[in-house]
Amino acid sequence: MLRSLMLAASRSGRLRTFAENTPLLRPVVDRFVVGTTTDQVLAVAREITTDRLVTIDHLGEDVTDRSRAEANADAYRALLRGLDGLGPRVEVSVKLSALGQALAGTDGEKVALDHARRICEAAHAVGTTVTVDMEDHTTTDSTLGIVRDLRVDHPWVGAVLQAGLRRTEADCRDLAGSRVRLCKGAYDEPASVAFRERHDVDLSYVRCLKILMAGDGLPMVATHDPVLIDIARHLGRGRPYEIQMLHGVRPHEQRDLAAAGESVRVYLPYGTEWYGYFVRRLAERPANLAFFARSLLTR
């Protein structure tokens, strides 16, 4: 119930504008978001890559005008130009809704594909890769279609699949020969398309993991769940895979896994449009709300 309410709040334009223009919140947000500028995120990426890998997300989503989509694509290209030898240890993650996928009219998908293509070219030029984040289930077909188009020229483009969706086992079968990040799913989805019980999502995650680990691609195991990580390590013995976690979540475990020889990639978001991302992180764990309230009260 609380999670659903928070996830509904994460889509509210009014709350977004209020929160992003309230400087008081920024220090609290900093646990999950590394800063607002390219220089800040690259400094943190450089530090992390001493023992782990990184995927950088220039925050933004659900853009409703073309100029914003263009600005987001430009920001990614500038970021990639600044990688300066960090590729392929540092790649980027992009949300197609930040690149215009949902623009009113009929050509939103084409706008997003064109921008994503140019980001892939910029990534290729500096020797790194791109992963296309997955948003709510209404975008899954469109997003996988765009990933398919991008892979014609750039077969290394990563897709994201959400174990919470009922369709995902079948999608895993289709994509098991490629780079696939498997996560539980961060959106509030209806029972008609998604498992609503955590236990069912976990069981689906394991079934999907088995399919990806039996394929020829690169499974990217995006979870902080220690049980699922143990299962992934067991299934992945002797084959390449990555464990991926979010910046600010279980950092000690990230470093321990890296020290144990695992390939660990940290998802590193930055930028001024942090609202939707931040509220989804609060929704994932009720204790984060207490952390948030405490941080505000003690300021």
Tally helices (H) and strands (E) across the chain: 13, 8
Q: Catalytic: which of 181, 188, 202, 281?
A: 181
Q: Which is nearer to ligand FAD, 91 or 133 (CB)?
A: 133
**Tokens encoding 282:** 């609060």
- Pick the binder of ligand FAD from 173, 207, 239, 285 (CB under 6 A): 285
Using rule CB under 6 A, residue 249 touches ligand FAD: yes
Burial class (CB in 10 A: 0-12, 13-18, 19+), 282: buried
CB 105 → ligand FAD: shortest distance, Å? 25
- Pick the binder of ligand FAD from 209, 245, 258, 279 (CB under 6 A): 245
- Pick the binder of ligand FAD from 167, 224, 233, 255 (CB under 6 A): 224
**Tokens encoding 152:** 């014609």
CB 299 → ligand FAD: shortest distance, Å? 20
173 labelled catalytic: no
- Pick the binder of ligand FAD from 160, 209, 229, 258 (CB under 6 A): 160
Using rule CB under 6 A, residue 288 touches ligand FAD: yes
Query: What does the alpha-carbon distance between residue 12 and residue 25 come to, in Å, rounded to a whole number?
Result: 17
181 labelled catalytic: yes
* CB burial string 36-60: b at 16+ within 10 A, e below: eebeebbebbeebeeebbbbbbbbb
Q: Which is nearer to ligand FAD, 154 or 281 (CB)?
A: 281
Please, which of residues 38-97 interact with ligand FAD by CB under 6 A? none
Q: Which is nearer to ligand FAD, 83 or 160 (CB)?
A: 160
What are the residues facing 242 on neighbouring strands? Answer: 220
Query: Please, which residues have CB within 8 angstroms of residue 270's CB and are 6 or more apart in sequence?
Result: 33, 34, 35, 36, 37, 38, 40, 41, 56, 57, 58, 59
Query: Please, which residues have CB within 8 angstroms of residue 214's CB and are 6 or more apart in sequence?
Result: 176
In the complex, the residues that contact ligand FAD under the rule CB under 6 A are 133-134, 160, 162, 181, 183-187, 222-225, 244-246, 249-250, 267, 281, 284-285, 288
Q: Which residues are catalytic?
A: 133, 181
